[in-house]
Each structure stands twice: as C-alpha cells, then as structure tokens.
A = this chain, B = another copy of it.
Amino acid sequence: MEEIHESTELGKLYLIPSRLGEQPPLEVLPLSIRKKINDINYFIVENEKVSRGFIKKITPTRSQGDLELFTLNKFSQEIEIPEMLAPCLKGFDVGLMSDAGCPGIADPGAKAVMAAHQQNIQVIPLVGPSSIILALMGSGLNGQNFAFNGYLPIDKNECKIKIKKLEKRAKIENQSQIIIETPYRNESVLKTLLKHLHPETLLTIACDITLDTEYIKTRSVIEWKNKKIPDLHKKPCVFAFH
C-alpha cells in the first residue's frame, strides 16, 4: 500500500467530535478524544472561542498559549486550506473540530479532509455524538436505508414540493428521511411538515439530544396533530419521517 508508506513521516489529520451541549465531556466522548486533544497543538476549528472553551473544559491543565487555531467556516476560501494543513507536512498532527457534533457532518470540515486526501495526509475520524445518527437510532424508523437532507427550502412552495418528494422516496425506496432546521425556525418547520405529510406517515421529533432535556418521540402525523407539541423553540432539533 504505497500511499500508507508515503504518509508515515507526515502528521495526521484527526477529526475530533465535540459535545452537543454543556454536559461533562466524558459522558458523551471516549477517553481517546481527551488524549488526542492533549497531544495536538494545531487545530482547525469552526469558531475559535467555542473550541478554546471546549479544549479548556476537556484538558483543563493545557496551556492555551501553545495552541494554534485556524478558523474554517462557510466563509473560508479554498485557498486558505493549505496553510491549515501545513503542520502535517512538517510532521505535526492537526485536529479538526466543529462547534458541536462531528466535523464534516452537517458542518464545515469536508474541504479540509478532501485536501488532506489529495496530499496523502492520513485522515483519522474519532468517535463522538452525531445528532443525526442519535436521532435516527432513537426514532425506530428504518436505519438500513436513510438520507440526511440538510435544510428544507425557505420558499413555501419549494418546501412543499421537497417534502412531498422526500415522502414519496421514503415510501417507494423504504428510505427514512432526515432533516434539520435552525433552532428558531423549528416550530414553523414542524407546522409545515404536519401540513404536507400524509396523516399516516411516521414523524420523529428529536430535540436537545444527549442533554438532560432530551426529547425523542415518533408518532404518526395524525397523532401529532391531536397531541400537544413539546416546546421546541430555539432548541436544536432533528426531524425524521418515513
């Protein structure tokens, strides 16, 4: 395996998940995350303040002055990525983190990973919380075939068309459909889902995942319409239907 030999003197790119909330880190992250954060000096992060806070929480004795953080978010340019991976070329490991959850999954990071592959830098994903997978596990919906579709369109008509298309795909292909929304739009999106989905379609609301206030429930659309909906306002939510 030529490329593995090529990579032996390069640093590695570790993909480091973080918490979905403010709980004690080791409740939701394996020890290897703490160890790796302790060993690495170079990080690519979504938001410097958030990541410094998390690093301080999980490795309180680390000197923050030793850390070099590069910001990679949706405003970053492709041209900035080589600098972020430069430590790997000098033999130093780099950690890639997003603000919450798994880097690269419904979050920035994939471009840095792709650039690492192109430079034969070994990429090592570490285990941590993915709200998408946790919501799907907790939903009871089909986990043998599923799609994560990101956000629904803002335009009302496009949104309706998209919901109908995904619902059809759920039925025909037996594929669970997952979406997310920015927390302040949760209630509006739920209303839209309840309006356009078939009454017998199963809909999961998964909210505040891994937190003490976690709420995960699957019901048919008609049942949701007849029940009091929990308060979702400004809480991180995942919706799934089948």
- A interface residues with partner B (beta carbon < 8 Å): 1-4, 15, 26-32, 102-107, 109-117, 123-125, 127-130, 132-150, 175, 209-210, 214-219, 227-228, 230
Contact = CB atoms under 8 A, between A and B. Distances in A.
Given A2-B228, A130-B133, A110 B143 contact: yes
A150 B175 CA distance: 10
A138 B150 contact: no
Given A27-B32, A145-B150, A150-B144, A218 B130 contact: no
A3 B138 CA distance: 16
A130 B101 CA distance: 13
Instruction: Indicate the member of A123, A214, A216 with the most B CB atoms within 10 Å.
Output: A123
Given A124-B138, A143-B110, A133 B216 contact: no
A2 B170 CA distance: 29
A136 B1 contact: no
Which 5 A-B pairs rank lowest in CB-CB distance, beginning with the nearest? A114-B140, A113-B140, A147-B147, A125-B137, A105-B143
9 contacts: A4-B215, A31-B31, A104-B143, A115-B140, A123-B140, A127-B128, A127-B129, A130-B130, A146-B147
B102 A137 contact: yes
Given A15-B138, A140-B113, A133 B102 contact: yes
B30 A26 contact: yes
A125 B30 contact: no
A137 B228 contact: no
A90 B220 CA distance: 26
A83 to B, nearest CB: 18
Nearest to A173: B149
A227 to B, nearest CB: 7
A112 to B, nearest CB: 8
A151 B73 CA distance: 34
B137 A105 contact: yes
B117 A209 contact: no
